[in-house]
Structure 1
Amino acid sequence: METLRHVVVLIHLVGFATLFGAWLVAAVGDRKITRLQHWGLAIAGVAGLALAAPWGITWELNYVKIGVKLVVLLVIGALLGIGAARQRKAGSVPAPVFWGIGVLTLLNAALAVLWR
């Protein structure tokens, strides 16, 4: 069971890397919202929810941390949606929306690593 949990953690990290990497490439380039960012968010979100389930562990889960990370994930999703809609309508993403996606993605990773 522990091996399966580690596989889910790996999938979660791949989702984060996909979201943040696609955002970073866009930040250096044309500052657009891409479908790859949406996929990264979905992968990280589904794997994160799977990790939040108390299966095969002997320690107590930190539900406050899980809740905060979920709220940050939802805000990232909202910003991706807003940015994609504005991009379709006006051709560009507002700077605060674009930079907010990157900062909140990095914040979510920091919460995972630093909050014990």
Structure 2
Amino acid sequence: MILRYAHLIGFALLLGGAIAQFVSAKLRINPAMLWGSIIQVLTGLALAAPLRGGGDDEPAPAKLAVKLVLAILIFIMVFASRKRADVNRGHFIGIIALTLINAAVATFWR
């Protein structure tokens, strides 16, 4: 339960940081986005770890794979452009879109 909470905190940091930058019209990677992406990957891996015991509640391996690929793509996009003074608008919107898609996969894929 604590891991899920930490995972949600990472999502909030990532998306909140991105939206704050987007509305400020200064498209750059802020610390909240960087830490949010790191938290998302680490807690996502921990949540998907085989140590959880199995059962009917376990998400499908395909869902976990899709979420992992999206989380790694987001992290790479954030990390690679973290020191730039200005991030390309399309790149920045891509980070926001992939973050929302990852949340949609988590929410709607049953």
Between structure 1 and structure 2, the one with the greater Rg is: 1
Q: Which has the higher contact order (CA 8 A, sep 6+)?
A: 2
Q: How big is the shift at 1:42?
A: 0.9
Aligned residues between the structures: 107
Which sections of structure 1, spanning at least 5 residues, go unmatched?
A: 1-5
Q: How big is the shift at 1:73?
A: 0.9
Q: Which residue of 1 aligns with 2:32?
A: 36
CA RMSD after TM alignment? 1.4
Q: Which residue of 2 aligns with 1:68?
A: 66
**TM-score normalized by the length of structure 2:** 0.89
Q: Which residue of 2 aligns with 1:104?
A: 98
Q: What letter corresponds to residue 96 of structure 2 in structure 1?
A: G
Q: How big is the shift at 1:65?
A: 0.5
Q: How big is the shift at 1:57?
A: 4.2
Q: How big is the shift at 1:53?
A: 1.4
Percentage of matched positions with identical amino acids: 37
- Contact 1:8 / 1:47 at 8 angstroms: preserved in 2? yes
Q: How big is the shift at 1:80?
A: 1.1
**TM-score normalized by the length of structure 1:** 0.85
Counterpart among 10, 31, 46 of residue 15 in structure 1: 10
CA distance in 1, matches of 2:64, 2:77: 20
Which sections of structure 2, spanning at least 5 residues, go unmatched?
A: none
Q: Which residue of 1 aligns with 2:82?
A: 84
Render the CA deviation track for 1:47-70: whole Å, top value 9, x for unaligned: 111110131442243111100111
